[in-house]
Chain A
Amino acid sequence: MSRFSWRHPWLKPFAQISLPLAAFVFVYVAALVALLVQGLWTTDSFTGKIVHSWNLDNFRALGDTPYPTIIGRTVGIAAAVTATCMAIAFPYAYFLVRVASRRLRLALLVATLLPLWVSYLVRVYSWRLILNQDGALNWTLERLGLPDVGIAFTNWAMWLVFTYIWLPFMVLPVYAALERIPYSYLEASADLGGRGLTTLRRVILPLAIPGLAAGSIFTFSLTLGDFIAPTLVGGPGSQLIGNAVYDNIGLANNAPFAAALAAVPLGIMAVYLAVMKRLGAFEAL
């Protein structure tokens, strides 16, 4: 046996990883393939039975109203959430790494992670309490003598809630990336005459890009797939791809079309990753 494996050196590592590999192939890949294959079938609209005739009707139907709007809205919200998370996470993580004392850093990191230990639903519902007509936000505005805002059940509410619940997924990778920048780099930059902003632009930001990229993959893809927040805090005209998928499976019993819809985020993510790669975001990984 040992001589056999000596003659075939690839065999041993292969045997060692074969189990996890099989799990990966069957659980992840097979499920995705089954999804895509189902998208090529149709259902009988009355009995709900799947008709196994191959066609592209479901993918063509993605071009009919209102799906382009829904897909566009989903990508738009995901991009807005990602950009906002970046804008908040970068200075915050920088503060944690360079400014905060060790004690404060620990406290703030725990505070960042704290929401992740609370149920998703609790976090979303707590935002409903804040944004409601007579909620905390309007109460505060009233005290300040400002006019109240009615952003409960709008796309603004959705943007706020998504930004809040996915923020930790951006902060952590950015924090990790910034922490890896040796202080000597900053000193070197200063020695060479780089001022604060120049150092930020030419030293810190380029080195933080892998962290921002990793974070954006989380925030972008998590928003693309979510359907709970739009149901709970969205208003009319807040459907995302996830909601359309849910309606087609849960109400219309049209799993093939839902599968075609579910393939859309897959395609969007593929494009997104390709663009990020082109921009060199993964070179440091």
Chain B
Amino acid sequence: MRKRMRAWHLGAAAVVVALAVPAAGVSKTSAVPTSIGPGEGRLTLVAWEGYTQPQWVKPFEQKTGCKVSAKYAGSSNDMFNLMTSGGGGQYDMVSASGDASLRLIYAGAVAETNMSLIPSYKDFYSAFKSPPNNTVGGKHYGVSIQFGPNVLMYNTKAFPKKPTSWAAIYDPKNKGKITIPDNPIQIADAALYLSKTRPSLGIRDPYELTKTQFDAVVNLLKQQRPLVKKYWALASDQIDLFKNGGSTIGASWPYQVNTLEAAKVPVASVIPKEGVTGWLDTWMLSSKAKHPNCAYRWMQWITTPKVQAQQAIYFGETPVNRKACAWMDRLSKGSCAQYSANAPESFYRSIKFWKTPVADCGNGKKDCMDLRAWTNAWTQVKG
């Protein structure tokens, strides 16, 4: 009995090794695949909730035979930990946002991907073909999927005259009516504002801040704190506050604007003259993916116009594929324009997309403030 058990173990080990070797071969040699082999029948994902809805996952499974199992992550840091813990390899892909994607790349957790294997790539707006949060040194690490701008939302009754500048959320006149997202990456919004209003600071990229620039930004945020009604952690918090009049102006996402408009609350949003930050999500492939062929099929599928449109409408965000616009209007009339899926290229170019703040920010001195400094500062700002 014991002997047979051992034989069984050996057999199982051999199977595991046989399964692992080709997968490891794809990543370890960093040889990017030039063609897609037969599917492995499975695909494991770490995703934002709402990114793996049956309406586009079911057809994918039927078409490719790759059975999808997804784990929802609660935060960008959660995603990072899921993809790196235990050496990684437990999950094939992650729908990383810009504040996690560079960390994943530098930690070696995700693999270079071959964009010529993804037919829809040519239809992407050019701003999303090689964005700095998923493309390093000309190498692509995953495929861009969806994005959204961080807009200025206001109550049209309280602000009959449309605000045109982020100055409104730093203005003592609006004391107690301002709502701000509770996220350290929000520091970039203040940096973007200062880059335009105080050019002497020399801020060129809101995610690459030296100590002096950073201190000035944090100082502005500290002055803003007494004006703030609520640092919202959940989108629904801000929605509630706009509904009951607790807040009349704030930094927001198109999702809240659309939800409030649907509820007949008099709100509108604006892209202020200083520009906006935004998030851009990327499906990234684990460097130890066990099902890389299914993963490539997923990247092909998720970027097709119809799926892009479905996801955009479901989640309230904007697809990167320009052909998705027509599908959006077919699925829900007017949604293409509502989510700016047909804006001029210059609009997409103007959005400063989230990226992980790192010390080595390319000025040769490695003296930029990193994510840890950002998080500490944010705790200080909130008091």
Contact = CB atoms under 8 A, between A and B. Distances in A.
A70 B380 CA distance: 10
Contacts of B383: 66, 69, 236-237, 239
Contacts, number: 87
A48 interface: yes
A228 B383 CA distance: 17
B301 to A, nearest CB: 31
Residue among B106, B226, B228, B376 with most chain A CB within 10 A: B376
Interface string B201-240: 0000000000000000000000001101111010001001
Contacts of B141: none
B9 to A, nearest CB: 29
B122 interface: no
Given A152-B246, A235-B230, A248 B225 contact: no
Interface string A242-269: 0010011111111000000000000000
A153 B375 contact: no
B382 A239 contact: yes
Interface string B87-129: 0000000000000000100110000000000000000000000
Contacts of A152: 246
A128 B230 CA distance: 13
A132 interface: yes
Interface in A122-154: 128, 132-135, 150, 152-153
B382 A252 contact: no
A66 B375 CA distance: 12
Interface SS, A side: loop
Interface in B171-213: 176, 182-184
A199 interface: no
Contact of B75 (A66, A248, A251): A251
A65 interface: yes
Interface stretch (B41-49, B77-85, B311-319): B77-85
A248 B244 contact: no
B81 A239 contact: no
A223 to B, nearest CB: 18
Interface range on chain B (Cβ under 8 Å from partner): 35 or more
Contacts of A248: 375
B280 to A, nearest CB: 19
Query: In this complex, which of A46, A135, A150, A239 has the most chain B Cβ atoms within 10 angstroms of its Cβ?
Result: A46
Contacts of A250: 74-75, 77-78
Interface string B360-383: 000000000011100110111011
B221 to A, nearest CB: 11
A148 to B, nearest CB: 11
B265 interface: no
Contacts of B244: 132-135
Interface string B263-279: 00000000000000000
Contact of B77 (A133, A134, A236, A253): A253
B59 interface: no
A132 B246 contact: yes
B179 to A, nearest CB: 10
Nearest to A66: B380
A250 B75 CA distance: 7
Contacts of B182: 231
Nearest to B180: A236
Given A48-B84, A48-B103, A250-B78, A236 B231 contact: yes
Nearest to A150: B176
Nearest to B185: A251
Contacts of A135: 244
Most chain B CB within 10 A, of A65, A244, A250, is at A250
Given A132-B244, A134-B244, A236-B225, A45 B370 contact: yes
A249 B237 CA distance: 22
A47 interface: yes
A66 B379 contact: yes
B103 A247 contact: no
Contact of A46 (B176, B183, B358): B358
A247 B370 CA distance: 16
B245 A134 contact: yes
Contacts of B260: none
Contacts of A252: 77, 184, 371-372, 375-376
Q: Which of A150, A239, A250, A251 gathers the greatest number of chain B CB atoms within 10 Å?
A: A251
Contacts of A247: 375, 378-379
B382 A46 contact: no
A66 B380 CA distance: 5
11 contacts: A47-B106, A48-B80, A48-B107, A66-B383, A132-B246, A231-B182, A232-B237, A235-B229, A236-B229, A250-B74, A253-B80
Given A45-B359, A48-B81, A237-B225, 14 more contacts: A48-B103, A48-B107, A132-B240, A132-B246, A150-B176, A235-B228, A236-B226, A236-B383, A237-B382, A247-B379, A252-B371, A252-B375, A253-B80, A254-B375
Q: Which 5 A-B pairs have the closest CB atoms?
A: A252-B375, A237-B383, A45-B372, A133-B246, A236-B228
Interface of A: 45-48, 65-66, 69-70, 128, 132-135, 150, 152-153, 231-232, 235-237, 239, 244, 247-254
